[in-house]
């Protein structure tokens, strides 16, 4: 007897959104499902899976799946592989879609129609969604939807993905659909699984001839220039002005991350202090109160404070992505990246790594060249992720004076910029070294990147994406960070100090002993035992270092001032050399456990994560050693 796996699927029909990259598919998905979206991964692969529900006018609920964008149904990247597998009904744990909505960018029918013809061959019930009809109309493009439907042999529904009621036609179409008899919408199946390379090449040529015939018949056989994008590009992609604008933009973003977040951060801090005050007032002084105040409130609360900064950074990345500027930045940086042995394609994963290395490493899936992808994964952790911001923010506000320099720049912002720059230069150096050691085994890398036309980012789309990022961050705070802070609190509280002992109780605890042992290793780079202790749970997530320091110091102060702020405490007890050394450490600091887990999953083994861990540890130690010794030499000890 053979065992077979049975999957149980929700009874609601599954509708898949399929389309080329840049066809406005995600905006349309947001319009259809609103904020009721579930973001997860496809089973077994780290491709982001977005699903949402849509309630039709008839009261019927349908599930909508936003498939990764694809140029063809011949899988060339991991993203396209997932799309193909789902459409063929062979993705693990996925139901084959009941209906495919093939989304077309009305401004780029030529490329998009080829995908429609390929989808038609799958034999799935399929409806064509003509998106961005407003922009097409503005450019004087008259598309006869009925004639197009007749040529394609499929219904064609016009939509405007960026307008509040732009999908109403589609919704009413879906509402009147006979969901029990979708077969009427399907085409003769010619699906024989994956095409061979040769068959695919023949198909795409003949599809293209057919697309030309259709466009000619509909009198759409001329290229509509996009003057607006072209004019913007003549400035933004100018070989001299372009890079200058990009540099200024990046600099502005980093200044904004620091200065805009001040008030919301103060607000969160005040709220936490108020809560701590209440607990101190109304709870008896026992271990449970210590756990709540010194452990959870100091730990999780300390991390929560940095949510505004993370959101501001994500806001800029998302806005740049939606406006269409991000691939242009990659184009501008391609030569620079080429010198380090990478391509402009690595830019987007690396930029995402500034928010968090995990989405960055996942974004490397779009790099089809294996060598480029591996190097990008290896250096992504050196991009200063937002988890390091709390550590930088703490140290900078404690040790760097808040002086205004020329042009209203402040010294703190400048130091922050320098730290980011150090990470980038380190990453480029490592990439260059890797290129020279591995270039024989690997081939020249590819760019082949589409530059979509410019769009004004939509606030509602930004809000949905930003909310999803915030949710992921808060889930981490609630999960691994909470767990680690509680564990550290326990490690720092037990065993209890012996009777009649003097000094802070933490010195007698397990964490104290561990920290003292580690401080021998870290002494040459100027770390005291408190820092050494904090670095241990910092492996869970880097921002935990701040909360751990808070916990360590709150517990080691013998007085009642457990809630006293960390900043004045460390600025009075650490030397400037130690602070600089710790900053240098964090530029290269070895990864948090979740990043290492991601790298392991993405590379399919322990080899790469172990290489990454050891080279980053080595670099971090070296950088700290040099920084500390130089600082001592200049009498900053």
Partner 1 sequence: MLLDQASLDTLFRVKGVLPSTSTPEVKGQLEDIGFLTGEQVTVLRKGLFGKGPILVRVGSSTFALRENEAKLIELEAIAS
Residue ranges in contact with partner 1 by CB under 8 A: 71-72, 74, 76, 107-111, 114, 197, 200-201, 204-205, 208-209, 212, 223-224, 229-230, 233, 237, 239-240, 327, 330-331, 334-335, 338, 343-344, 368, 443-452
Identity of the residue, 138 or 443, whose beta carbon is nearer to partner 1 in the bound complex: 443
Q: How far is the CB of 188 from partner 1 (least distance, A)?
A: 24
Could you tell me the two tokens for 156?
């064609």
Q: How far is the CB of 353 from partner 1 (least distance, A)?
A: 21
Answer whether 84's CB lies under 8 Å from 51's CB: no
What backbone phi and psi angles, to 5 degrees, belong to 37? -120, 150
Q: How far is the CB of 272 from partner 1 (least distance, A)?
A: 47
Alpha carbon of residue 8 to chain centroid:
31
Angle between helix 326-339 and 307-323 (nearest 10): 100
Q: How far is the CB of 230 from partner 1 (least distance, A)?
A: 8
206 CB-near residues (< 8 Å, 6+ apart): none
Identity of the residue, 114 or 120, whose beta carbon is nearer to partner 1 in the bound complex: 114
Q: How far is the CB of 521 from partner 1 (least distance, A)?
A: 45
Q: What is the dihedral of CA 619, 620, 624, 625, to 10 degrees?
A: -50
| Residue 5 CB neighbours (<10 A) | 6
Give, as one character, the DSSP assignment of residue 158.
E
> What number of CA atoms fall less than 13 Å from residue 530's CA on the CB side?
21
Alpha carbon of residue 115 to chain centroid:
28
Q: How far is the CB of 94 from partner 1 (least distance, A)?
A: 24
Q: How far is the CB of 108 from partner 1 (least distance, A)?
A: 5
Q: How far is the CB of 402 from partner 1 (least distance, A)?
A: 40
Direct distance between the N- and C-terminal alpha carbons of the chain, in angstroms, rounded to an integer: 74
Q: How far is the CB of 435 from partner 1 (least distance, A)?
A: 15
Helix (H), strand (E), coil (C) string for 259-317: HCCHHHHHHHHHHHHHHHHHHHHHCCCCHHHHHHHHHHHHHHHHHHCCHHHHHHHHHHH
Q: How far is the CB of 120 from partner 1 (least distance, A)?
A: 17
Identity of the residue, 210 or 255, whose beta carbon is nearer to partner 1 in the bound complex: 210
Identity of the residue, 141 or 611, whose beta carbon is nearer to partner 1 in the bound complex: 141
Answer whether 588's CB lies under 8 Å from 620's CB: yes
Identity of the residue, 243 or 497, whose beta carbon is nearer to partner 1 in the bound complex: 243
Q: What is the dihedral of CA 85, 89, 90, 94, to 10 degrees?
A: 90
Could you tell me the two tokens for 453?
């036309």
Identity of the residue, 450 or 471, whose beta carbon is nearer to partner 1 in the bound complex: 450
Q: How far is the CB of 173 from partner 1 (least distance, A)?
A: 27
Answer whether 620's CB lies under 8 Å from 589's CB: yes
Q: Is 315 exposed, middle or buried (0-12, 13-18, 19+ CB in 10 A)?
A: buried
Alpha-carbon distances, residue 351 vs 201, 261, 387, 586 (angstroms): 34, 20, 14, 18
Query: What is the DSSP code string of 348-405?
Result: HHHHHHTT-HHHHHHHGGG---HHHHHHHHHHGGGS--TTTHHHHHHHHHHHS---B-
Q: Which of 12, 61, 68 is nearest to 171 (CA)?
A: 61
Identity of the residue, 339 or 516, whose beta carbon is nearer to partner 1 in the bound complex: 339
Identity of the residue, 229 or 280, whose beta carbon is nearer to partner 1 in the bound complex: 229
Answer whether 42's CB lies under 8 Å from 89's CB: no
Answer whether 521's CB lies under 8 Å from 503's CB: no
Give, as one character, the DSSP assignment of residue 410.
B
Identity of the residue, 331 or 529, whose beta carbon is nearer to partner 1 in the bound complex: 331
Beta-strand pair 14-19/99-105: parallel
Q: How far is the CB of 377 from partner 1 (least distance, A)?
A: 20
Q: How far is the CB of 449 from partner 1 (least distance, A)?
A: 5
Identity of the residue, 418 or 444, whose beta carbon is nearer to partner 1 in the bound complex: 444
Phi-psi region of 430 (alpha: psi -120 to 50; beta: other; left: phi over 0): alpha
Could you tell me the two tokens for 553?
């110091």
Identity of the residue, 366 or 485, whose beta carbon is nearer to partner 1 in the bound complex: 366
Identity of the residue, 328 or 458, whose beta carbon is nearer to partner 1 in the bound complex: 328
Identity of the residue, 51 or 195, whose beta carbon is nearer to partner 1 in the bound complex: 195
Q: How far is the CB of 80 from partner 1 (least distance, A)?
A: 9
Q: How far is the CB of 111 from partner 1 (least distance, A)?
A: 5
Identity of the residue, 338 or 497, whose beta carbon is nearer to partner 1 in the bound complex: 338
Answer whether 154's CB lies under 8 Å from 185's CB: yes
| Residue 241 CB neighbours (<10 A) | 12
Identity of the residue, 183 or 209, whose beta carbon is nearer to partner 1 in the bound complex: 209
- Pairwise CA distance, residues 571 & 220, whole Å: 69
603 CB-near residues (< 8 Å, 6+ apart): 374, 377, 609
């Amino acid at each position: 007897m053979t065992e077979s796996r049975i999957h149980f699927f929700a009874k609601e029909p599954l509708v898949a959104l399929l389309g080329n990259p840049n066809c406005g598919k995600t905006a349309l998905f947001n319009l259809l499902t609103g904020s009721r979206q579930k973001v997860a991964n496809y089973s077994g692969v780290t491709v982001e899976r977005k699903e949402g529900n849509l309630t039709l006018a008839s009261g019927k609920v349908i599930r909508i799946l936003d498939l990764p964008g694809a140029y063809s149904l011949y899988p060339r990247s991991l993203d396209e592989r997932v799309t193909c597998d789902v459409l063929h009904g062979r993705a693990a744990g996925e139901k084959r879609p009941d209906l495919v909505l093939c989304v077309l960018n009305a401004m780029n029918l030529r490329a998009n129609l080829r995908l429609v013809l390929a989808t038609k061959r799958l034999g799935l019930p399929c409806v064509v969604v003509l998106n961005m009809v407003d922009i097409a109309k503005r450019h004087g493009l008259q598309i006869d939807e009925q004639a197009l439907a007749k040529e394609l042999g499929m219904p064609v529904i016009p939509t405007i993905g960026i307008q509040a009621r732009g999908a109403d036609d589609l919704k009413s179409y879906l509402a009147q659909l006979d969901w029990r008899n979708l077969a009427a919408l399907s085409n003769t199946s010619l699906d024989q699984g994956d095409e061979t390379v040769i068959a695919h090449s023949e198909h795409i040529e003949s599809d293209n001839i057919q697309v030309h015939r259709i466009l000619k018949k509909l009198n759409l056989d001329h290229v509509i220039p996009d003057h607006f994008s072209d004019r913007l590009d003549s400035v933004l992609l100018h070989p001299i002005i372009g890079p200058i604008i990009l540099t200024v933009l990046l600099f502005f973003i980093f200044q904004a991350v620091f200065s805009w977040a001040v008030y919301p951060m103060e607000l969160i801090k005040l709220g936490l202090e108020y809560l701590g005050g209440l607990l101190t007032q109304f709870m008896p002084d026992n271990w449970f109160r210590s756990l709540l105040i010194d452990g959870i409130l100091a730990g999780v609360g300390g991390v929560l404070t940095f949510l505004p900064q993370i959101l501001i950074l994500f806001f800029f990345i998302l806005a740049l992505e939606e406006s269409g500027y991000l691939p242009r930045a990659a184009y501008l940086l391609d030569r620079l990246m080429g010198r380090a042995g990478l391509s402009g394609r690595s830019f987007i994963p690396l930029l995402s790594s500034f928010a968090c290395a995990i989405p960055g490493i996942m974004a490397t899936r779009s790099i089809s060249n294996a060598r480029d992808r591996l190097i990008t994964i290896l250096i992504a952790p050196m991009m200063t992720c937002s988890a390091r911001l709390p550590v930088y923010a703490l140290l900078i506000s404690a040790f760097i004076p808040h002086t205004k320099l020329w042009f209203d720049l402040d010294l703190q912002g400048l130091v922050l910029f320098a730290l980011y720059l150090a990470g980038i230069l380190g990453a480029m150096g490592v990439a260059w070294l890797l290129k020279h050691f591995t270039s024989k085994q690997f081939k020249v890398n590819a760019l082949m990147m589409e530059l979509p036309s410019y769009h004004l980012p939509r606030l509602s789309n930004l809000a949905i994406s930003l909310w999803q990022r915030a949710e992921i961050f808060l889930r981490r705070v609630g999960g691994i960070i909470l767990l680690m802070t509680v564990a550290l609190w326990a490690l720092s509280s037990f065993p209890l100090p012996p009777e009649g002992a003097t000094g802070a109780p933490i010195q007698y605890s397990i964490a104290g002993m561990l920290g003292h042992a580690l401080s021998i290793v870290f002494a040459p780079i100027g770390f005291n035992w408190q820092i050494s202790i904090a670095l241990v749970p910092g492996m869970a997530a880097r921002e935990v270092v701040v909360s751990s320091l808070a916990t360590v110091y709150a517990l080691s102060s013998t007085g009642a001032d457990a809630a006293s702020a960390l900043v004045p405490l460390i600025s009075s007890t650490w030397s400037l050399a130690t602070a600089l050394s710790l900053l240098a450490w964090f530029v290269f600091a070895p990864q948090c456990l979740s990043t290492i887990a991601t790298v392991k999953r993405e590379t399919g083994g322990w080899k790469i994560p172990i290489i990454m861990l050891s080279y980053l540890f080595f670099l971090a130690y070296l950088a700290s050693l040099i920084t500390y010794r130089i600082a001592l030499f200049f009498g900053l000890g």
